[in-house]
Structures are given as structure tokens and as C-alpha cells.
Amino acid sequence: MPYEEDQPNEKTYAIIPKPRGNRAQRMSYVLLALCAFILYLIEQNFSHILRCLIVHFTALQAGSLLKGICNFAEEMDHVTSRYHGSYGRALSACLDLRRHALCFVFLCGVAYFLCLEETGLPVYLNLTLMSLCQLLSIIFGIQHPSAAEISEIHEQNNCNVAQGLAWSYYIGYLKVILPSLKDLISDFNRSHGELLTCKKTWKLHILIPLSCDVYDDLQKVDSHIQFINNLPELRVDRAGVKQRSYKNSVYGILGEDQKMNYCVLEYATPLKSLYAMSQDENAGFSSQDRLEQAKLFCRTLEEILQKSKECSDCYRLIVYDDSENNDTHCLSKALLGHIRQQHQEEYNVHERLQGCIESENLPSNGTQLLLSGSDQPQPLHSF
């Protein structure tokens, strides 16, 4: 089921960031066309514009080359530990020699023939001045990537803390328990009077508070949430541990109508790590970092689970912002919204199936069938 369609509260998921697109690339094309249009309007000599363009482009390539050399000076001290003793790998990590060096040499050659006669300076002096400007920009940090660029690089390469936690949570836990969850719920129902009547709710409801404040006892968070019992244990040989035990808990959610609704419920455990990191000075992890990582954890986990065939239709992520909510029953209300939506989905499916069955059973000549409301056989009446 699509991520947005499976959630009852669209406002909640408006705060979860989507993956970055290619609008920056498209914007560069727009600005390129704008620059070309300006050059066309000023009606300058084409050869003169070309010379200036080559000079500026050469300066940019000189900056990239010099920045790579500066980075290589640092990486030389880590060749053994990071690059297995290969200076070639260290150099390749700092700059692309085929792209930067060859392009730079070519542009320098062209710039020499086109621009030397205008500046009146030797080519080595022109290059020295270009390098001086670029080195000053490096020293003053002008060429450092922006926070948005760093964030995009980390997200694209799964380098964020939240992405690692999401993958670990999926591989080490969800992928193990979710394929067997519905069978365990079925066994639980047989021994507990069919508490979980709606099969649409036969999922693991995973709580994701954006504050990452995870409690061990849900009843202390909201008195309308009551522990009922544990599902039967799942035992799996895992990482050298024979018959490792996995357990999930069933909770009852008390509604305003005093009716109890039941579901399998737990927090996303990795959020405890994010919260602990924000409390540890050595981690250098602020509360704002924690919030951003919590949002990214939610998005990454959903993307992983959507692509997992083993976990399909076995989970439901419940994301909520509990940082500024003073309602002591906000969690139970959020849960009831999810549970009721799932009940409605099952009712709609049942209603559609009933409609299909009735239409298939209708006689083709349009004769109306009179169906008795009683399950007992009725006598035939003569007319």
C-alpha cells in the first residue's frame, strides 16, 4: 500500500522530508539560458566573449585541481589505514585525474593562445594569479559545500545515522518477525477468544515519536493503553544463538465509547539510540540533529519496507509529534484513528465482495429472488 494512502493523518506526514529531486539541475539549465540570453542582448564580439569564458572556466578547473592537491596532502597521512597503502587510491579519492588534469591542461593551452596577447603577461603568471584567487577562496572556506549539499550526499549514499539504524532494524528484526506475525496472531486468537477480529489490524503497529522519547511501559504514557498479553514466542537460530526468542505484545486501546480495540504494538527500538546520542556530550548530537534523523529514519524505514515482499502488509508505521502535545491521551487517540481506518478498509472490502457475489447470483432474466432472513429451511407455499 502506498505510503501516503496508508496513513489517516496527512498533516503528520507533511513533516517527513521526501527524497530530494533534480530541481537544482533544472534550475541550472534555466540560469544557463538566462546568461546566454543576456550575452545575446549585449551584442559583444563573439571571439572576445569566448576568450573570457575560457579564462573563467580555466580558473574554476584550477580551483578544483588545487583543492584536490590540498586534500591529498591530508590523505597521505592516512594511506595505510584508509587506502591499504596505495597512494594511487588516495589520489583518486581526492580528484579525478582524467577529468580535472586533462581538462585543465587543455584549457590552459587554449587560454595561452587566445588570451596571452591581450593580457600581456606570461602564461605562468596568469596561472599563478588564478591559483592565488582559488587558494584564497579555499583558505576562507568559500568553496565548502553547503549544509543542503552535505545532507544530499549523505542521504544518497546511506551515510546518515538514521539510515544505518533503519537498515539494522529491518535486517536484524523486522525481516525476522514480520513474515511469521500473522500466523502468531492467529494462534493467539484461538487461545484468547478471537480478540483481534479485524484481519486488517493483523500488523505490527510501530510507534515513531519524533522526540525519540521511548518508554518501556506504554501504560505510563497513556492510561487508555492497556497491556493484554504477549503473542506466542518466535524462536529462530540467529547469529550463533540457538532458538533465540522474539516476542511481541498485544495491547488494548480504550476509546471514548469505552470500547476496547486491540492491536500488536511497540516502539521502534532504534529511536532509543538516537535519544541517547542526543544526551551524550561525546556524540556531538543536538536535539535538532535528533529531530532531523528521526524524520529520516521514518522515511528510510518506509522505503525499505515498501520494497520488501516478506514484510508486505505486515506493518503500520505510526509517526507523531509528541514534543508540544499536552494531551495525556494523544497517543491512544492517534492509535484509534489508525485502527478505525483499518476497520473501515476491511468493511469496504467486505462490502465490495458482497456486491460482486450478489450480482453474480442474480438470474439473467431479471427475476427478483426473495431471501429469507432465517438460517432455517422454510416450507414451500402453494399459490
pLDDT tens, residue by residue, 318-334? 998 887 667 788 889 88
For residue 257, how many C-alpha atoms fall within 13 Å in the half-sphere facing its CB?
A: 5
What sign does the dihedral 160-166-169-171 (CA atoms) show? negative
Shared domain for 28 and 41, answered yes or no, is yes
Work out how many domains the chain is built from and give that number: 2
Domain CATH code at residue 183: 3.40.50.12100
Whether residue 366 lies inside any domain: the answer is: no
Shared domain for 103 and 213, answered yes or no, is no
Whether residue 379 lies inside any domain: the answer is: no
383, pLDDT greater than 60: no
Range of the domain at 270: 161-352
**13-22, 137-146, 240-249, 361-370 — most confident range:** 240-249
Shared domain for 236 and 336, answered yes or no, is yes
Shared domain for 281 and 330, answered yes or no, is yes
Instruction: From 271, 269, 273, 251, select the one nearest 331 (Cα to Cα).
Output: 251
DSSP notation for 77-139: GGHHHHHTT-HHHHHHHH--HHHHHHHHHHHHHHHHHHHHHHH-S-HHHHHHHHHHHHHHHHH
Shared domain for 62 and 131, answered yes or no, is yes
The cell numbers describing 309, all together, are: 515482499
DSSP state of 202: -
pLDDT tens, residue by residue, 338-374? 988 888 876 665 555 455 445 455 444 444 444 444 4
Whether residue 1 lies inside any domain: the answer is: no
Determine the Cα–Cα distance for residues 159 and 151; give it in Å rounded to an integer: 9
Instruction: From 92, 120, 96, 124, select the one nearest 108 (Cα to Cα).
Output: 124
Tell which wins on pLDDT, 108 or 332: 332
Whether residue 361 lies inside any domain: the answer is: no
Q: What is the mean pLDDT of residues 295-299?
A: 91
Shared domain for 195 and 327, answered yes or no, is yes
Determine the Cα–Cα distance for residues 46 and 25; give it in Å rounded to an integer: 27
Q: Which of 134, 156, 178 is the last residue before a domain boundary?
A: 156
Shared domain for 151 and 248, answered yes or no, is no
Q: What is the mean pLDDT of residues 213-221?
A: 90
pLDDT given at position 126:
63
Determine the Cα–Cα distance for residues 262 and 185; give it in Å rounded to an integer: 11
The cell numbers describing 332, all together, are: 491512544
Q: What is the mean pLDDT of residues 75-83?
A: 84
228: part of which helix (H) or strand (E)? strand 225-230
